[in-house]
Structures are given as structure tokens and as C-alpha cells.
């Protein structure tokens, strides 16, 4: 069995990223879209961690930052979502168009 | 000399009475009102008598010198400088004192004003006994006495003007005493307004004197006028005296300002006697006599005075011939007699004029009080057509009034004979006979006077009784408080003239001698001006005792007797519907006289504007209408125009704001932005995931670009 190389990680991360993007673009539920964004971020984390095998710990540090950022983003995103829900009683992505002209 | 040096107290006595009535009168009993109001006038009269007798002593020691006393400086240097520029460019300090002057002229006025005033006060207690507003009446009377005494005793024109205005006010108040009667209140207004016209003249004359002489004190003005600095006929003095005479015309009811006096009979009869016959209306005469030093410097003014006086005399007397209201006859008689007085002043016979004022005060007051007694007896009836045959029922009134009638008709030896004869003689002999036409007027007036007075007497007291039975039943002689003053005045009407018993009849004319110090300098002025014939009366007496004088005397007595006889023939048996001889002889003349020459109507057309001339209204009301038109059209038009302009400007401004500022400048750029932004905003179509898709395509694009470059 061939050893697991960086390329494998990158493939998996790319797959996760694609899944995330597809989730973001296609799902209509905002909660799921947010979760898909987490998926994208984690794909990036996986890339960072994978590359830290080659170039040192910087990637892992960045991954920690991204996790922190993801937590903050989730908090803000969900907060906005709750406020939005209170106004429109829906979490349908297509109806999030308050800033439309 | 206590009384002489305290003459300033004299006006204050009645002022005190008036003040009491003003503050407490409403609560006082009639007897208290009598005690206070009659009391103060009696005190003033006694005080005046004593002061006058002391003045006689003073005049004996200082011949020709008036007595003056200053109480305080009212306006002028003491109260802050009031400098003004005189006609010659020099500066003079204006000063008016509350100062009092007693000289023969003011002394005579003082005595008869307080004396007759006192009698009329006493009479009023009887006449007004049953009237409302008793205290008010007496308060006004006292206020009048105060003003009149101030006028007489003032030592300068300004203080005199205070009294002048005060008597005008009291005249107004007393004419309008029955203020609930419309005719009385309009008569009061008329008197006041007509007097204001005269007062304006007086004021302007006063200003002219101040501007020309630098002082308004009588002694200063007289001294300057007599100093010889001013030429006879000086135009400024002529103007000043003419203006003063306008004032005299208003107050003394001369043409053309006499119209208020007949209407003034709306007041209670004692008021007519006191104010509109004996005292106030002679104020004009007093003022002209007081300014004699100025008048003699202005022959034009003198001529005007004489002519106006003569015309007024005959004009009013002719109206009096046909009037039926007993008081109106007397009112026109008063106007006419005042005309005589001015005639005398105008021809330079100042003493004769003053003498007539003096005698007239008694007999005219008596006539008015007598008519009041008649009206009292007749239960308020004033129309002589409804009287007749009263002589047995009110004998005292009858006899006293007859004495007054003899006096006014100029029958010797009653008072009026002496004064009227003096005036006629002076008119005849003045200026080398230049005034003979005025003498003719005066003579005809004397005839008319006798006629209308005896007409009044016969219609009232003789002939058949023409009143209703009810009135007849109530006829009674007046109470003692009314008859005693009548009797005293009757005695005066007999005797007052004897003071001026002329030389030609063996007398010594004390009256003229006494007045000489006031007027004698005029003789000098006239002599200096080459008019030696126009002398002060006293001196002329000695020079001209000529046969003509006896002839004229005989003629004027004849006029009185003829008038008496004509009235006797026409009215002695007057029954209901008796015929007026004038109406029978010449109906148009009668209509003209009966309607008083339509002067009131003419004034209504020309001055008040109560009647329209065609479609046009003239006079004051016309002015009012013109002002009203001007106001509603021009002034209001301007206002409305300004408003309309503002509204137009507002509309334009609003349009500008709405379309240019808001539209073009504010909304315009916004629409422009909107328009320009249209393509861009198409990008923002509101589907978040599409944006994400675009991002992803972009990302893919970038990656692809860098990957395959």
C-alpha cells in the first residue's frame, strides 16, 4: 500500500472544498450554507496542515487562526441569521435579499 | 393790604368748592351743597370787594399802576430754561408765571363776576331744587367761577388761556348738563368745537406775541407796545391782534362763530344767565380790552373788530325779532349786545365797551333769571306762543324783567341807556365820522332791540293767556331764593349806569375816569399816529360835548320808545294765533329771519358736511369721507397691494423652490445618479448564492489563468 503523501491530503481537501462550494451554491437553507462554509474552511485547514509537513509549523498556526475565525464567523453568521429569522420568519436563502435595490 | 396781596386766593375759594363736590358731592345733603358752593362764592365776592377797595387805596398812592403779585413761576427759567428765538434773531427766555394782576379793568370784571355769580348761585338753589345731579351742577358752577376768576386775574396770556379753556370746559359741561337729552349733548359739543376754532386763533396770536415781544406778561407787552418802537399798522401786530380777535369771536359769539350760543340755551337757565350772558361770553371783550395797547397799533384789526361787531349786532338782533323760544330771543339778544361791545372796542372806545359789558351783565343776567322764573312758573314751557297774561300771577318776575327790558332798550335812566348811548356816540364821532355807517347799523339794532325785548315782555306777561289749563293751574311766583336775586339785579340794572353818567348830562363819568389808567395811553398813541379824533372815551367826553351828542341821545331814546310802541301795538292783545307783523308785511323776510338766515344749514353744507351739496359732501364730514375713501382705497390699497405683491413673490419663490431648487438642484442629481446607476444595480439581483457562484467562477477563472499561463 502506497504511503499517504501530501497529494492525498490535497485531493481530500480539494474534494471537501468542492463539496463545500456545491453546498454553498445549491442549498437553500442558510444553516446548511453556513455549515458548507465551515466545510470549505476545514478543507483549507486540511491544506494548511498538509503543507506544514513540508514547510514547518506556520501552516498549523494558520489553521488555528482559521478555526478561530470560523468560530467567530459562525457566531456572527448565526446571529445575523437569528435576526433575519425574527424579521422574515424564514431561513430560505433566496429570500435573503434585503439589500437588493 | 392783606387782601390785595392775597388776590390769588380768590379763584381758589370756588376751586375748593368744586373739589369738595367732586370728591364728596354725591354723599352730601342739598343743604350742605348749598352751604359749601354758595358759601365759597360769597366768600370770594366779599374778598374781592375788600381787595378792590384796598386796590383803590393802592391806586391812589400809585396812580396808573396795576397791582401785580407772583405766586410762582409756572413755566420758564426756574423750571429749566425755555429759550426761543425772537423775530429779530435774539434769544428770549420764555416765562409764564402763576401771577395775578389787579387793575381797574380786571377789578371791574372781578366785582361783577363774583357779584352776579353769587346772585346766580343763590338763584340756582331755588331753580335747581327739584333737579337731579344737584351737587354736580353746583360743582360745575364753582369750577366755572374758578376758571373765570383765573382768566380775569391772570397777569399773562398763558394763565389767561388756562382760565379761557377752563370756562370753555365748564360751558361744555353745563350746556350738556341734561346729558340724557340728545339736543343738549349735541349743543354742548357744538359749543366746545366752535370755541376750539377760536381758541386756535388765540393760541396762534399768543405765539405771535411771544415771538414778536419776547414775553407774554400783559405789563411787558403793553410797555413794549407803548414804547414807540413799533409803527402803527405793523403787519405782525396786525396779524397777532387779528388772531386774538378770532379767539374773541369764538368765546364772545361773534360772526361767524356765534352759532354755538343760541344752542347753548339747552343748558339750565341759571347757566345761560351766568355763563352765556353775563360773564363767560364777555371774556372775548375782556381779552381785546386787555390787549388794547396792541390793538391800537393795528388800525386794520380795529376796523375789523368794529365791522364784525356791528354786523353781529344787527344780524343777531334781526333773528331775535321773530324767535318764539323765550331763551332763544335772549340768546340772540346777547349775541347782538356783544356785537355792540366789540363795535365800541373797534372804534377805540374801550371804556364804552367795558361799560356796556358791566351794565349788560346785570340786566342780561336779570332777563335770563327772569325767563328762568317764567319757565319755572310755566312748568318748563319755553315757547312764548303758549304764554301770555302772566303779569298778575308772577308780579315780581314781571316787574324786575320790565326793568331789565327798559335797561336793554336804552330808556333813561336805566343802566343800558348810558352804556349803549355812549357806544353809539363814540361810533358816530370816531375817526371824523368814518364809522357813521356803523352808527346807522348800531342805531337800527337799537330799534330792533327795543322791539324784540318788548315783544318778549308783551307776549309773556300781557295779552291773553294762551297756555293750557293744566299749566295755568300751576302758575306760581318763584321762591324767595329766586326772587331776591331778581330784585337785587333789578336795582343794579337801574343804578349801574349811573356810574358812567356822562358829562353832557351833568355827570362826571366816574367809570371812564376809573378805567383811564388802563386805556389812556392809547390816546397818546393815536395822537402820535395823527388820529387824534379816536381818543380814549374819558378824554373825548370833555372835548366833544356837542349839540350832536344831545341829538343822538334823543334819537336813541326815540328808537327805544318807538320799538316799545311798535311791540305794544302788535302784541298787547295777543291771543291764540296772533299775527306776527313781520310775517304779515313780508313773509319771505319772516321765513329768512325765523330760520336764522339758514346759517346753521349753510354751515352744515359747508363746514360740518351733515348735508350734501348735490352728491358731494363738504366740510369736516366731507373731509372724513374723503379720508375714509383715501384710507380704504389708497392706504388699504397700498397695504393690499403690498400683500398681493408678497403673495405673488411667495408664489414665485415657492415655484422656484419646488422646481428649481428642489427639482433641478436636489432631486435632479439624485435622478441622474439613479439613471446612471441603473446598469450597475442590475448586478445586484438579490440571490446570494448566485453571487457566490460568480465568485467561484471568478476564482476558477483566476486559478485557471495562473495555472495555464
A:B CB pairs within 8 Å: 25
CB B189 within 8 A of CB B145: no
Minimal C-alpha gap between A1 and chain B (Å): 31
User: Which secondary-structure segment (H or E) carries B342?
Assistant: helix B326-346
Among candidates B685, B689, B693 on the partner chain, residue whose Cβ is nearest the Cβ of A93: B689
Question: What is the average per-residue pLDDT within A62-91?
Answer: 92
Domain ranges in chain A are 28-89
Q: Per residue in B11-63, pLDDT tens? A: 999 999 999 999 998 888 888 988 999 999 999 999 999 999 999 888 888 87
Among candidates B686, B692, B696 on the partner chain, residue whose Cβ is nearest the Cβ of A97: B686
B90/A contact by beta carbon, under 8 A: no
The residues that bridge with B100 in the sheet, in sequence order, are B69, B154
- Cα end-to-end distance, chain A, whole Å: 58
Among candidates A24, A25, A100 on the partner chain, residue whose Cβ is nearest the Cβ of B686: A100
Helix crossing, B30-61 with B134-153: angle to 10°?
10
**Torsion angle of the four alpha carbons B620, B626, B629, B635, in this order, in degrees rounded to the nearest 10:** -100
What's the CA gap between B285 and B358, in Å, rounded?
A: 11
- Residues of A whose CB is below 8 A from B684: 99-101
Among candidates A21, A93, A101 on the partner chain, residue whose Cβ is nearest the Cβ of B688: A93
What's the CA gap between B444 and B542, in Å, rounded?
A: 27
Q: What is the ipTM of this complex?
A: 0.86
- Residues of B whose CB is below 8 A from A21: 696
Mention every residue, 6+ apart, whose C-beta is less than 8 A from residue B51: B3, B4, B6, B7, B10, B102, B110
Instruction: Tell me if B687 and A94 make a contact (CB, 8 A cut-off).
Output: yes
Among candidates B685, B689, B693 on the partner chain, residue whose Cβ is nearest the Cβ of A100: B685
Among candidates B684, B687, B689 on the partner chain, residue whose Cβ is nearest the Cβ of A24: B689
Instruction: Tell me if A25 and B684 make a contact (CB, 8 A cut-off).
Output: no
Using a CB–CB cut-off of 8 Å, the residues of A that contact B are 21, 24-26, 33, 93-94, 96-97, 99-101
What's the CA gap between B680 and B663, in Å, rounded?
A: 24
Instruction: Tell me if A33 and B689 make a contact (CB, 8 A cut-off).
Output: yes
CB B283 within 8 A of CB B167: yes
| Size (chain B), residues | 709
What's the CA gap between B456 and B462, in Å, rounded?
A: 10
Phi and psi dihedrals of B216, rounded to 5?
-120, 5
For an interface test with A, which of B670, B686, B693, B698 has the most A Cβ atoms less than 10 Å from its Cβ? B686
CB B232 within 8 A of CB B303: no
User: Which pLDDT score, from 0 to 100, does residue B657 have?
Assistant: 92
- Residues of A whose CB is below 8 A from B670: none
| Low-confidence residues of chain B: pLDDT under 70 | 77-81, 431-433, 520-545
What's the CA gap between B347 and B668, in Å, rounded?
A: 96
B686/A contact by beta carbon, under 8 A: yes
Nine-digit cell string for A35: 455549515
Phi and psi dihedrals of A100, rounded to 5?
-65, 150
Instruction: Tell me if A26 and B696 make a contact (CB, 8 A cut-off).
Output: no
User: Which pLDDT score, from 0 to 100, does residue B541 have?
Assistant: 42
**Average pLDDT of the residues of chain A:** 90
User: Which pLDDT score, from 0 to 100, does residue B542 have?
Assistant: 45
Nine-digit cell string for A20: 463545500
Instruction: Tell me if B685 and A24 make a contact (CB, 8 A cut-off).
Output: no
In angstroms and rounded to an integer, the radius of gyration of the C-alpha atoms of chain B is: 38
Closest A-chain CA to B692: A25
- Residues of A whose CB is below 8 A from B685: 100
What's the CA gap between B498 and B194, in Å, rounded?
A: 36
Instruction: Tell me if A101 and B687 make a contact (CB, 8 A cut-off).
Output: no
Q: Per residue in B587-599, pLDDT tens? A: 888 888 888 888 8
User: Which pLDDT score, from 0 to 100, does residue B545 have?
Assistant: 59
Strand-pair category, B96-102 with B67-75: antiparallel
- Residues of B whose CB is below 8 A from A92: none
The per-residue b/e assignment along B557-584, b for 16 or more CB within 10 angstroms, e otherwise, is bebbeebbebbeebbeebeeebebbbee
User: Which pLDDT score, from 0 to 100, does residue A97 have?
Assistant: 81
B680/A contact by beta carbon, under 8 A: no
Q: Per residue in B320-354, pLDDT tens? A: 999 999 999 999 999 999 999 999 999 888 888 99
CB B190 within 8 A of CB B168: no
Question: What is the average per-residue pLDDT within A14-35?
Answer: 91
- Residues of B whose CB is below 8 A from A25: 689, 692-693, 696
Q: For residue B291, give the nearest of B304, B300, B281, B301 by alpha carbon.
A: B301
CB atoms within 10 A of CB B91: 10
User: Which pLDDT score, from 0 to 100, does residue B1 have?
Assistant: 75
Among candidates B681, B687, B692 on the partner chain, residue whose Cβ is nearest the Cβ of A24: B692
Instruction: Tell me if B686 and A26 make a contact (CB, 8 A cut-off).
Output: no
What's the CA gap between B73 and B7, in Å, rounded?
A: 17
Amino acid at each position: 500500500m502506497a504511503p499517504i503523501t501530501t497529494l492525498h491530503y490535497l485531493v481530500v481537501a480539494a474534494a471537501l472544498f468542492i463539496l463545500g462550494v456545491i453546498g454553498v451554491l445549491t442549498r437553500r437553507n442558510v444553516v446548511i450554507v453556513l455549515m458548507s462554509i465551515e466545510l470549505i474552511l476545514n478543507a483549507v485547514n486540511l491544506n494548511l496542515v498538509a503543507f506544514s509537513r513540508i514547510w514547518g509549523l506556520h501552516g498549523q498556526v494558520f489553521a488555528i487562526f482559521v478555526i478561530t475565525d470560523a468560530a467567530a464567523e459562525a457566531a456572527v453568521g448565526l446571529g445575523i441569521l437569528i435576526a433575519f429569522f425574527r424579521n422574515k420568519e424564514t431561513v430560505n436563502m433566496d429570500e435573503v435579499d434585503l439589500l437588493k435595490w | 393790604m392783606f387782601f390785595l396781596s392775597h388776590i390769588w386766593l380768590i379763584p381758589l375759594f370756588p376751586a375748593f368748592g368744586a373739589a369738595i363736590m367732586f370728591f364728596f358731592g354725591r354723599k352730601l345733603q342739598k343743604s350742605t351743597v348749598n352751604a359749601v358752593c354758595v358759601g365759597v362764592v360769597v366768600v370770594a365776592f366779599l374778598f374781592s370787594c375788600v381787595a378792590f377797595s384796598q386796590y383803590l387805596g393802592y391806586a391812589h398812592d400809585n396812580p396808573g399802576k396795576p397791582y401785580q403779585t407772583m405766586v410762582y413761576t409756572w413755566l420758564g427759567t426756574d423750571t429749566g430754561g425755555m429759550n426761543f428765538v425772537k423775530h429779530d434773531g435774539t434769544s428770549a427766555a420764555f416765562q409764564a408765571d402763576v401771577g395775578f394782576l389787579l387793575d381797574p379793568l380786571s377789578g371791574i370784571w372781578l366785582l361783577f363776576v363774583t357779584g352776579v355769580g353769587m346772585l346766580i348761585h343763590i338763584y340756582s338753589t331755588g331753580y335747581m331744587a327739584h333737579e337731579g345731579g344737584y351737587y354736580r351742577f353746583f360743582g360745575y358752577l364753582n369750577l366755572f367761577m374758578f376758571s373765570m376768576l383765573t382768566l380775569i386775574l391772570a397777569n399773562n396770556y398763558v394763565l389767561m388761556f388756562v382760565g379761557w379753556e377752563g370756562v370753555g370746559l365748564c360751558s361744555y359741561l353745563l350746556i350738556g348738563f341734561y346729558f340724557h337729552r340728545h339736543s343738549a349733548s349735541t349743543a354742548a359739543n357744538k359749543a366746545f368745537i366752535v370755541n376750539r376754532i377760536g381758541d386756535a386763533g388765540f393760541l396762534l396770536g399768543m405765539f405771535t406775541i411771544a415771538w414778536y415781544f419776547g414775553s407774554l406778561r400783559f405789563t411787558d407787552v403793553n410797555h413794549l407796545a407803548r414804547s414807540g418802537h413799533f409803527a402803527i399798522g405793523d403787519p405782525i401786530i396786525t396779524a397777532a391782534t387779528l388772531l386774538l380777535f378770532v379767539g374773541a369771536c369764538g368765546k364772545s359769539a361773534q360772526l361767524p362763530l356765534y352759532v354755538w350760543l343760541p344752542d347753548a340755551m339747552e343748558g339750565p337757565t341759571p347757566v345761560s344767565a351766568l355763563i352765556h350772558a353775563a360773564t363767560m361770553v364777555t371774556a372775548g371783550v375782556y381779552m381785546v380790552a386787555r390787549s388794547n395797547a396792541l390793538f391800537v397799533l393795528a388800525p386794520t384789526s380795529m376796523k375789523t373788530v368794529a365791522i364784525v361787531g356791528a354786523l353781529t349786532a344787527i344780524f343777531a338782533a334781526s333773528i331775535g325779532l321773530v324767535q318764539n323760544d323765550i331763551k332763544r330771543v335772549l340768546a340772540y339778544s346777547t349775541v347782538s349786545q356783544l356785537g355792540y361791545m366789540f363795535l365800541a372796542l373797534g372804534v377805540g372806545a374801550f371804556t364804552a365797551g367795558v361799560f356796556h359789558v358791566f351794565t349788560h351783565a346785570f340786566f342780561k343776567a336779570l332777563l335770563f333769571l327772569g325767563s328762568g322764573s317764567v319757565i319755572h312758573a310755566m312748568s318748563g314751557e319755553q315757547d312764548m306762543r303758549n304764554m301770555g297774561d302772566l303779569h298778575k300771577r308772577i308780579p315780581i318776575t314781571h316787574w324786575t324783567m320790565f326793568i331789565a327790558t327798559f335797561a336793554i332798550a336804552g330808556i333813561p335812566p336805566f343802566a343800558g341807556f348810558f352804556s349803549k348811548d355812549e357806544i353809539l356816540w363814540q361810533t358816530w364821532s370816531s375817526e371824523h365820522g368814518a364809522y357813521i355807517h356803523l352808527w346807522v347799523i348800531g342805531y337800527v339794532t337799537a330799534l330792533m332791540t327795543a322791539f324784540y325785548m318788548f315783544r318778549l315782555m308783551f307776549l309773556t306777561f300781557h295779552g291773553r293767556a294762551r297756555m293750557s289749563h293744566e299749566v295755568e293751574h300751576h302758575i306760581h311766583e318763584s321762591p324767595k331764593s329766586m326772587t331776591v336775586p331778581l330784585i337785587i339785579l333789578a336795582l343794579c340794572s337801574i343804578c349801574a349806569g349811573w356810574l358812567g353818567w356822562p358829562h353832557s348830562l351833568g355827570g362826571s363819568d366816574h367809570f371812564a375816569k376809573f378805567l383811564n389808567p388802563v386805556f389812556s395811553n392809547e390816546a397818546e398813541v393815536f395822537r402820535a399816529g395823527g388820529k387824534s379824533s379816536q381818543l380814549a372815551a374819558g378824554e373825548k367826553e370833555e372835548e366833544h360835548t356837542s349839540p350832536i351828542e344831545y341829538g343822538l341821545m334823543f334819537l336813541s331814546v326815540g328808537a327805544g320808545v318807538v320799538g316799545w310802541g311798535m311791540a305794544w301795538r302788535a302784541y298787547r292783545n295777543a291771543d291764540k294765533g296772533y299775527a306776527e307783523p313781520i310775517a304779515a308785511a313780508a313773509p319771505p323776510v319772516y321765513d329768512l329771519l325765523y330760520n336764522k338766515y339758514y346759517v346753521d344749514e349753510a354751515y352744515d353744507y359747508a363746514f360740518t358736511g351733515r348735508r350734501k351739496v348735490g352728491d358731494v359732501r363738504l366740510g369736516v364730514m366731507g373731509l372724513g369721507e374723503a379720508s375714509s375713501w383715501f384710507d380704504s382705497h389708497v392706504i388699504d390699497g397700498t397695504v393690499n397691494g403690498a400683500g398681493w405683491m408678497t403673495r405673488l413673490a411667495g408664489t414665485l419663490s415657492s415655484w422656484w423652490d419646488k422646481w428649481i431648487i428642489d427639482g433641478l438642484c436636489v432631486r435632479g442629481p439624485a435622478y441622474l445618479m439613479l439613471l446612471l446607476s441603473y446598469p450597475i444595480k442590475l448586478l445586484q439581483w438579490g440571490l446570494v448564492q448566485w453571487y457566490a457562484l460568480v465568485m467561484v467562477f471568478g476564482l476558477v477563472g483566476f486559478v485557471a489563468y495562473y495555472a495555464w499561463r
